[in-house]
């Protein structure tokens, strides 16, 4: 993940706690959640692209472990799980009235641990950027020291497994690793933030359902200047991708895309734009995406990475993806 401002790196170094509680298990922390409209200039606005806004929060805490949310999944009903680039699990218990997000009932954190349940130390080792939850457990993608680790539960030791294409993984730039991963049907898709010469992003698709092979390098269409930050399966043959951009003049922006995935030909098709968020809409460094399908409706949650910087915000936004 490219830092948006130099101050964020300094703040991260200062806020990653060296004396954090090393006992396994989530520990409650105090957080403040303030509702925020989609458009402060037009609080009644609730549409952007193919999304309907269902509420959002600015979340803050005086606990230095909170912040840096780099991926997002729905862990249990009304409980979001994130992993941070400071080496923490963050669980958020949502307060929802009907289908609207109105607040938080609580929050908790735990340390992301290694194969011996040891706390991870050093930015190169703790920089978690992607997350997926399956019935078998939790997968986390790290950059700088590029790797994928699996956890049976949050408190379990990491299980490190050889990656399918270690040469590709090792060749990724230090700060442009696997920024998004998703389980699609029987397949796993890993997307790198690094951009190819043609402007697309490269990824690895692994599928036992592959027609001639179960492994392929694929390209993923995320239009410049956006870079992928998270992805989530949409059924067994589509992918929803979250991207973000930043420039000193235009500020931050986010894009939500949908792309077909063909597991027989082992290809990811051209993406379509579902929505773009840019100022004056509520947006920050959006890095987390969770998609939930309930009773024929699709809900999309987004989270922002504040880089542990006082100049940025942690946002949790909820939308409905319209037909």
User: What element of type H or E holds 187?
Assistant: strand 187-195
Q: What does the block give as tokens for 167? A: 């040469």
What are the tens digits of pLDDT across the range 9-39? 333 333 333 334 556 689 999 999 999 999 9
Closest to 138 in 3D by CA, of 148, 152, 126, 124: 152
Ramachandran bin of 285, using left for φ above 0, alpha for ψ from -120 to 50, beta for the remaining angles: beta
Give buried/exposed letters for 210-237 (b at 16+ CB in 10 A, else e): beeebebebebbbeeebbbbbbbbbeee
Which pLDDT does position 11 carry in this prediction? 39
Beta-carbon count within 10 A of 314 CB: 26
Which pLDDT does position 22 carry in this prediction? 56
Which pLDDT does position 314 carry in this prediction? 98
Which pLDDT does position 250 carry in this prediction? 80
What are the tens digits of pLDDT across the range 69-78? 999 999 999 9
pTM: predicted TM-score of the whole model, two decimal places? 0.92
Which pLDDT does position 21 carry in this prediction? 52
CA distance 134 to 145: 24
Identify the bridge partners of residue 112 per DSSP, sorted by sequence position.
none
Domains of the chain: 6-321 (2.115.10)
CA distance 181 to 223: 18
Report CA 89 to chain centroid distance, whole Å.
Answer: 12
Instruction: Report the SS3 class of residue 194.
Output: strand
Beta-carbon count within 10 A of 303 CB: 29
Q: What is the DSSP letter of 286?
A: E
What are the tens digits of pLDDT across the range 80-89? 999 999 999 9
Report CA 163 to chain centroid distance, whole Å.
Answer: 20
Exposed/middle/buried for residue 10 (C-beta within 10 Å: 0-12, 13-18, 19+):
middle
Starting at the edge strand found earlier in the chain, the sheet holding 79-84 runs: 27-29, 100-111, 88-97, 79-84, 69-76
CA max distance for the chain: 54
CA distance 228 to 265: 23
- What DSSP string describes 78-132? TEEEEEETTSEEEEEEEEEETTEEEEEEEEEEEE-B-TTSPBP-SHHHH-EEEEE
Which pLDDT does position 14 carry in this prediction? 37
Closest to 13 in 3D by CA, of 139, 95, 114, 124: 124
Which residues does the chain have with pLDDT short of 70?
1-24
Exposed/middle/buried for residue 43 (C-beta within 10 Å: 0-12, 13-18, 19+):
exposed
Identify the bridge partners of residue 203 per DSSP, sorted by sequence position.
191, 218
């Amino acid at each position: 993940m490219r830092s948006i401002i130099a101050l964020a790196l300094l703040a991260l170094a200062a806020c990653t706690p060296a004396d954090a509680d090393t006992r396994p298990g989530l520990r409650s922390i105090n957080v403040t959640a303030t509702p925020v409209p989609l458009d402060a200039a037009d609080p009644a606005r609730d549409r952007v692209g193919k999304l309907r806004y269902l509420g959002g929060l600015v979340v803050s805490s005086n606990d230095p472990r909170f912040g840096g949310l780099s991926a997002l999944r729905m862990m249990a009903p009304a409980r979001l799980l994130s992993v941070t680039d400071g080496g923490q699990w963050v669980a958020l218990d949502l307060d929802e009235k009907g289908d609207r997000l109105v607040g938080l009932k609580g929050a908790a954190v735990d340390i992301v641990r290694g194969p011996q349940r040891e706390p991870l130390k050093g930015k190169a080792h703790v920089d978690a950027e992607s997350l997926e939850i399956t019935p078998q457990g939790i997968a986390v993608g790290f950059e700088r020291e590029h790797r994928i680790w699996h956890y049976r539960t949050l408190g379990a030791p990491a299980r490190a497994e050889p990656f399918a294409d270690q040469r590709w993984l090792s060749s990724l730039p230090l700060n442009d690793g696997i920024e998004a991963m998703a389980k699609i049907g029987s397949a796993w898709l890993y997307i790198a933030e690094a951009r190819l010469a043609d402007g697309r992003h490269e990824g690895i698709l692994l599928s036992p359902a592959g027609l001639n092979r179960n492994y392929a390098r694929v390209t993923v269409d995320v239009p410049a200047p956006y870079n992928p930050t998270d992805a989530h399966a949409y059924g067994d043959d589509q992918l929803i991708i979250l991207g973000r951009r930043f420039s000193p003049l235009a500020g931050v922006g986010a894009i939500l895309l949908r792309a077909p995935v063909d597991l027989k030909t082992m290809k990811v098709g051209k993406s379509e734009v579902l929505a773009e968020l840019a100022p004056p809409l509520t947006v920050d460094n959006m890095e987390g995406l969770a998609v939930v399908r309930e009773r024929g409706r699709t809900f999309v949650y987004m989270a922002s990475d504040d880089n542990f910087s006082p100049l940025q915000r942690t946002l949790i936004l909820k939308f409905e993806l319209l037909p």
